[in-house]
Structures are given as C-alpha cells and as structure tokens.
Structure 1
Amino acid sequence: MGGLPYPELSDWHPKGQTTTAYDLWNEERGAGTRAVIIVDPDGVIRYRETYQPGTLPDPETILQAVTDING
C-alpha cells in the first residue's frame, strides 16, 4: 500500500507488542483483534473500531471519522 499520505502500523515484530498496548491482544487466539485506530499527531486516539473476523471496515465511516477530525 505504497503512496499513502499517512503512516500505517502492522504488529509484526515483536509479535503482539502493539496490539497489547492498544488493548487488542487476544491471548486465547495468540493474535490481535482486527481494528482501525486513528491517532492524531499528538498521539491521541481519535477513532477506534474493532471488527469480528470476516467483517470488513466500512470505508465511508472511516472517511467520515477522518473528515470530522480534520474539521
């Protein structure tokens, strides 16, 4: 997904460190819960939505959240 004007985060290594920090780590599954989290430049979480496996985020909802944050 190159060319995006914002950074993305993947919790690859060390496994689970980021998902644990965002309270998304599922110890039983040994994997993180799927989520979209938007963090502003000051490190404040401005949007957070978790998703069950097989459920896709709604792009319009996420775009609206970004629009609302940017005013």
Structure 2
Amino acid sequence: MGGLPYPELSDWHPKGQVTRSYDLWNEERGAGTRAVIIVDREGVIRYRELYEPGILPDPETILQAVADLS
C-alpha cells in the first residue's frame, strides 16, 4: 500500500490501544470492530462507519465523505 497520499493506521502494539480509544474494541473477540474513520486535520472525527465481518465498505461513500471535507 505504499505511495498513498494519506496515513493509515495499524494497531499492533500495544494491542488495541487505538481501537479502544475509538470505542471499537470487542473484548469478547479480543479484536477491533471493522470500521472506516475519517479524522480531519484538527483531529475531529468527520466520518465513522462500522462493518460486520464479510461486509465491505462502499468506496464511493467513503470518497464522498473525504470530498465533503474540502
């Protein structure tokens, strides 16, 4: 995924720290809930969508949410 014009996050160590801070940690599974979160330059969450396993995010919806930030 190199060359992307935006940062991505991997929540490996300490395990789940960021996931917990976004209230996405699933204690029962010991893993985070799948989600797309868009945070603006000021650190404000502008878009948040949770996804069940097997459900893929809609790229057009996400791209529109990014476009709406400008």
Give TM class, smaller chain: over 0.9
Give CA-to-partner distance per residue, 1:3-53, whole Å, 9 cap, x none.
011111111111110000000000000000000000011100010000000
Q: Secondary structure at the match of 1:48?
A: strand
Counterpart CA distance in 2 for 1:57 and 1:44 is 21
- The equivalent of 2:45 in structure 1 is 45
Report the aligned-residue RMSD: 0.5
Partner residue in 2 for 1:30: 30
Ranges in structure 2 where 5+ consecutive residues have no aligned partner = none
Alignment length, in residue pairs?
A: 70
Aligned to 2:5: 5
Aligned to 1:15: 15
Sequence identity (%): 84
Q: Which runs of 4+ in 1 moved over 3 A?
A: none
